[in-house]
Structure 1
Amino acid sequence: MAVTTRATTRIPGLATTVIVTVTAEATPTAAATTTAAAQVTNAPATSGNLQRFNGALGGAAAPTVTPGGRGFQVEGSDSFLNIAAALGRSCDIQHNSTRNGIVTHWTVASSDALFLLLDEVMARLCSLVFLSACLARVSSVSITDIQGISYLSPLNGQTVNNVTGLVTAKASNGFYFQGERSEDVRASNGLFVFSSSALPLVNVGDFITLNGRVSEFRSATSPNNLFMTEIVSPTDIVVLSSNNTLTPLILGKDRSPPTRLLNALDVGPDGFLSVPNNSSLISTTNATLQPDKFGMDFWESLEGQLVTIPSPTATGFRNNFGEFWVYGDWKVTGKNSRGGLTINFGPGGIPDGNPEAVIIGSPLDRSSNPQPVLGVRLADITGVVAYQFGFFYVIPLTAPQIISRPDPTISPTSIKSSPRDKCSLTFGDYNVENMAPTSAHIPAIASHISNLLLTPDIMFVQEIQDNSGPTNDGTVSANLTLTALVNAIAAVSNVTYAFASVDPVDGQDGGQPGGNIRTAFLYRPEKLSLAPGAPAGGALDPTEVQGRFLKPKLSFNPGRIDPLNSAWDATRKPLVAHWQTKDGKDLFTINLHLSSKGGSSSTQGDARPPVNSPIAARSAQVASVATFVKAILTKDPFANIIVGGDFNEFLQTRSVYQPLTKLLTSIDEAAGVPEVERYSYVFDQNAQQLDHALVSDAIKLRRAQFEHVHVNTWSPSLSARISDHDPSVGRIRLC
């Protein structure tokens, strides 16, 4: 007998309708008998567990089924279907025959499971149609079962059958599909199927079922990354219906990310910046997710799901892979005036890791992402949440569109050098990024110093290369590089700087191979000069604090601090100088460029707190400088001291800076710069401050001024950026 079967349902949580029609050459068979039958009213007593209602189509009332026994055996060609009531949701199944019309019309109102035996035709339908909370095949596993409520799947390594969901997106190496949402927000209902060979079998909008093996993937070359839950080696992929739609989760409306903390394992007073770092692993602890409290848990609870980011704002430039960070129309913290998210101290003094931002990956349709800058506004972005390359991503279905860009105009500082004020002195700081004598960006740097910083009386500069630049020929002198910069400034401003530096030992100070980068001072001779009485030091000469009480002086001027200390291996040794103004006021300056963060792990990686490399070296370097500063203050507690430069660390990492901050104060704090505006660098989702100036109490008490000039972080394009650091400028009073 040819039997046509149609099943229709609304899928709770998926907002889609599944309609499947199956024609089968089959003859209904008698029901198998069991010892624990379902209780049936309004149906023939002889119907048993197979609810067969003979009569004209729609001509009789539908039978009502209440829970019966469980664990019964199915024999022969008979099969059974597990019908879940799903807390009051209803599900209708109509079974129509072209001969001897058979009608079975069920309304499920119980929250318990109802076990029924079906005839061969319904068994075939069962093998093709999943009716969400109403119908589920025996031995099936849901996507939420696979994802679980922690970082690692409870079914990792196991083979799962009859996993059902709607295909939401296709990538080059697999596809994403999504099942019914769980009432437990910790369990994601999205999942990635890793299989390029399966791509021709499915299309976006297909409602499918499949078998496969649950796997937790992490690249062998990225041991600090998290694992990504996925299904591998899929088999028995069956398309149940096509052209279905799914409403994405609207972030900021349906669910919103936490705004302060990254992970529960970031134990310590400095949160994700705490020392020691790398003291625990998420993959080992595998704690239950707390998505309302911790940002990483939030994004993990959405892994594989289709989401929409409404009204996103970019927090910086694209990276080398065309990816960029955004936050959407939801609550954020640390928001600065440009629209970025600044690392700052949150409640309880815990640094804010800005977990509410997420990185936008390469579009799945292979279109190209736009080129945003800090503060760019974009149209809504829809994509799937995934973990890759050390971070949680939203991988967009197509390239986002830019709606508006911020004003690219950079205003000059309001802080100006005053030739009439004998007590005040202006200073600037700038990492000029691998500057050699022939560097193309020298004129632009000169313009910044002249037109934006307004030619401060003294400049702290970092990354001055030797005269041969990156050519590794044994050259260590940088007089040609510094002369080229000084001449370029003079050409723009008519201000002629002098310079002071100490040449390093070849190949011993890190940076670009062959470049021999070092720190240096530029100064205006009409305002100040090096204090007399001490020779310039050499690369390996340790400078000592000498002199009598209230009259400290240096053994070398300029000189290097503690250059033989192993803490300074393969990095720039501190440059110290003792200055005197034209009316005899003294100032000590220390120019730093501490070890870079190369080798650090992702802030969203497995290691908690994240690996902050080389934190031990920077801690030892800060301690070395603090010892020197203390020696000056011991000689003169009222000494004027500035320690500035590229620290390659956040002041929020208090465990590192404690030796210095016991003695000195950040000039940002002394000048009252709002905490969210204290940044000189943008990396990943964070506006952050790597370039600092710390001042002694004598300067702090005389009301300093300070500004960060965001000429590079606010650049209209990445290609137009001159350095990866912003310069800063300040004014201090020496009397």
Structure 2
Amino acid sequence: MRVLPLIATGLLTTTVLPATASLAAAQQAVRIHDIQGTTRVSPLNGQQVSGVTGVVTGVRATGSARGFWFQDPQPDTDPRTSEGLFVFTGDLTPQVAVGAAVTVSGTVAEHYPGGQDGPNQSVTELTSASWQVSGTGEIPPEPLVADTVPVEHTPDGEIDSRELEPERFALDFYESREAMALRVDDARVVGPTDEYRSLWITTKPAQNANERGGTTYTGYADPNAGRLKVESLLAGEFPAAAVGDRLQGSTSGPLDYSSFGGYVLEAAQLGAHVPGGAQPETTRAQRPDELAVATYNVENLDAADEQTKFDRLAQGVVGNLAAPDVLALEEVQDNTGATDDGVVAADETLQRFTHAIAAAGGPRYQWRQIDPENNADGGEPGGNIRVALMFNPARVSFVDRPGGDATTAVQPVADGDRAALSVSPGRVEPANAAWTDSRKPLVGEFLFQGRPVFVVANHFSSKGGDQPLHGRFQPPARSSEQQRAEQAKAVRGFVDQTLAVDPQAAIVVAGDLNDYGFSPALAPLTEALTSPADALPPVERYSYVYEGNSQQLDHILLTGPLTVDYDIVHVNAEFPDQISDHDPQVVRLRAAE
């Protein structure tokens, strides 16, 4: 919590100074660059300062973190020291306008969004502030162009106290301009508008650019320095922008820092929204001799959802995915959704979905799933999310083998010279500690044109708790990887056991694995199974967009003598009106000749 004893008096806010503040400290006149210093933490942190002059470049007039940014029109010659500063007024709207020349007094503070012990960088600011307007001025925003921001992200270690190297590291570059007015011209959108009136642009249009206008995260060593979040200080509408759109003209305002994305341009001017023309993709229909298997995270779908959600998801299955033969679904919730009432059944949820698909002109799908134990599988409390299998009985048969439940482990068994499942559907090692508070994989045995195919539907544990790319600890700790690595080993164990029974077994491991193809957490699977996504250029491997990075969280992995046609179908993640935050993908399989 930030405490500020304020008495507002029009354009002037008078501060009640703590009794412990010395008169000398209160009278210390400094410049903004003296306060910002050459590291992330102010050399005057905790001290009272006065006579700090500058011109107001932006005002935040809403929310609980109101205040204004001001900037010194007479910068020093040190590229490490920012010339801008934020004045924090809490839930009081500052009575000051952009362009006002002000003289400010207050206490220098370092605010860590999310808490001082957390992983985020700090914001240098003045609290308990008073100011006097002395006239007007103007601060031309500094332009950001492709060559401005360094490609190298940041050095390793805790970066709070190290001297900034803005010409070498991207995070240092932004920190050296904290609270200063910046400008990006004709910016391309790389992260769609969200519900909080924010979007992501890139200052480096060529950096890992994919065909649809995004910026793809291709490895831990290259987090894409050109990404920059944009919010608006302006009242009125905010552009509903998709990836690949542009903000034509200038987008400018002071540079802030947030726990939700890191450095953010608080736009006092927004460029004109120009659509880039991206449309939701459609894939081709499978041929008679092809088995089409898709994976789709339907984002907390439950029976209480509006019919619009079911209809749009159904249209995606029928129109965009061309009605695949088998669907591995993630984030199917129980019949009462997030209401924590002990209900675990999801039959009403799946029935509404299959009805919506049929109404959209698709097949009459059937489904198989296993109800989890109540509140044992993570996700939204009370929602009991699980994976499920849907299939078109006109194209593929499901082999039902009784006995599968929330705690019974499925085992591969011999059935003549082929593999079969001990229970179908069944769960992979549900008692394994790897699945604590996480979804258990569901395996189903199918027959397609007389050939058995095993589909393993997955939803690995989330990245919650990992440190951010933009944080003060580098490289960021990815503590959640450990559980996913154990989950990958468990699924790999099932695959290996099945292949030990039948080395020619056709196995499809599909779902939201919540990690990247290059992640060591997924190595037990990616090193042993075929990933059809690997045939794509690295920049085209993505199914999700997070903080302006297009990234690969959803996967289809294969064994067996199969020929493959694979497609990631971009229908959601790049658009502001997404019905799910994930894109589905589909693989069409034929037995090798």
**TM-score grouping bracket, smaller chain normalisation:** 0.7 to 0.9
Tell me the distance in 2 between the aligned counterparts of 1:449 and 1:531: 23
1:729 aligns with 2:549: no
What is the one-letter code of the residue matched to 2:317? I
Counterpart of 2:298 in structure 1 is: 432
* Conservation of the 8 A alpha-carbon contact between 1:143 and 1:179: no
Q: Is the contact made by 2:158 and 2:472 (CA closer than 8 Å) also made in structure 1?
A: yes
Say which of 142, 159, 164 aligns to 1:249: 142
Pick the aligned partner of 1:713 from 552, 573, 576.
573
CA contact (8 A) 2:186 2:271 kept: no
1:236–1:401 CA distance, 2 compared to 1 (3 A)? closer
Q: Which residue of 2 is the match for residue 554 of structure 1?
A: 421
Question: Which of residues 265, 280, 295 is equivalent to 1:394?
Answer: 265
CA deviation profile, 1:262-321 (whole Å, cap 9, x unmatched)? 3212xxxxxxxxxxxxxx5333xx222233343221211111211111111222333333
1:153-192 aligned at under 5 Å gives the runs 153-160=42-49, 162-171=51-60, 172-192=66-86
In the alignment, which residue of structure 1 is the partner of 2:154? 263
1:688 and 2:551 matched: yes
Q: What corresponds to 1:134 in structure 2?
A: none
8 Å contact kept, 1:381–1:396 = yes
Q: Any idea what SS the aligned residue of 1:556 has?
A: coil
TM-superposed deviation, 1:594:
1.3
Give distance in 1, aligned partners of 2:336 and 2:238. Answer: 38
Mapped to 2, the partners of 1:665 and 1:184 lie a distance apart of: 53
Q: Equivalent residues in 2 for 1:166-315 (5 A)? A: 166-171=55-60, 172-194=66-88, 204-207=98-101, 212-219=106-113, 221=115, 223-233=118-128, 239=134, 242-252=135-145, 256-259=148-151, 261-265=152-156, 281-283=158-160, 286-315=161-190
CA distance in structure 1 between the partners assigned to 2:304 and 2:98 by the alignment: 54
For structure 1, the 5+ residue unaligned runs are 1-137, 266-279
Q: Give the partner amino acid of 2:505.
A: A
Q: Which residue of 1 aligns with 2:312?
A: 444
1:574 correspondence with 2:436: no
Distance (whole Å) between structure 2 residues aligned to residue 403 and residue 494 of structure 1: 36
Distance change in 2, residues 1:640/1:157 (3 Å): same
Relative to structure 1, is the Cα distance of residues 163 and 469 closer, same or farther in structure 2, using a 3 angstrom cutoff?
closer
Counterpart in the other structure of 1:358: 228
Q: Is the 8 A contact 2:517 2:526 kept in 1?
A: no
**Could you tell me how far apart the structure 2 residues matched to 1:187 and 1:698 are?**
61
CA contact (8 A) 2:242 2:278 kept: no
2-side partners of 1:366 and 1:252: how far apart? 27
Task: Between the two structures, name the one with larger relative contact order (CA 8 Å, sep ≥ 6).
Answer: 2
Match of 1:405 among 258, 269, 275: 275
**C-alpha distance in structure 2 between counterparts of 1:206 and 1:198, whole Å:** 16
Q: Counterpart of 2:494 in 1: which secondary structure?
A: helix
The answer to whether structure 1 residue 545 and structure 2 residue 439 are counterparts is: no
Deviation larger for 590-599 or 181-190:
181-190
Give the structure 2 partner of residue 529 of structure 1.
Answer: 397
Gaps of 5+ in 2: 1-26, 61-65
How far residue 163 of structure 1 moved from its aligned partner, in angstroms, is 4.1
Aligned residue runs from structure 1 range 366-377, under 5 A: 366-377=235-246
Q: Secondary structure at the match of 1:315?
A: strand
Residue 319 of structure 1 corresponds to 194
**TM norm structure 1:** 0.69
Flag the 1:459–1:182 CA change in 2: closer, same or farther, 3 A. same
Match status 1:676 vs 2:569: no
Q: Does structure 2 conserve the Cα–Cα contact (< 8 Å) formed by 1:168 and 1:178?
A: no
Q: CA deviation at 1:435?
A: 2.5
Identity across the alignment (%)? 34
Q: Which portions of structure 1, spanning 4 or more consecutive aligned residues, are displaced by more than 6 angstroms?
A: none
Q: How far apart in 2 are the matches of 1:444 and 1:235?
A: 53
Cα deviation, 1:377-424, whole Å, max 9, x if unaligned, reads: 1131110112233511111124x243311335434213x2222x2xx3
Change (3 A) 1:728 1:362: same
Matched ranges for 1:515-526 at <5 A: 515-526=383-394
| 1:176-205 CA-partner distances (Å, limit 9, x unpaired) | 1224334432222222234589955x6544
Of 497, 502, 506 in structure 1, the residue corresponding to residue 365 of structure 2 is: 497
1:656 aligns with 2:521: yes
Rg comparison, structure with higher value: 1
- In 1, distance between residues paired with 2:231 and 2:365? 46
Q: How many residues align?
A: 555
SS where residue 136 of structure 2 aligns?
coil
CA RMSD between the two structures = 2.9
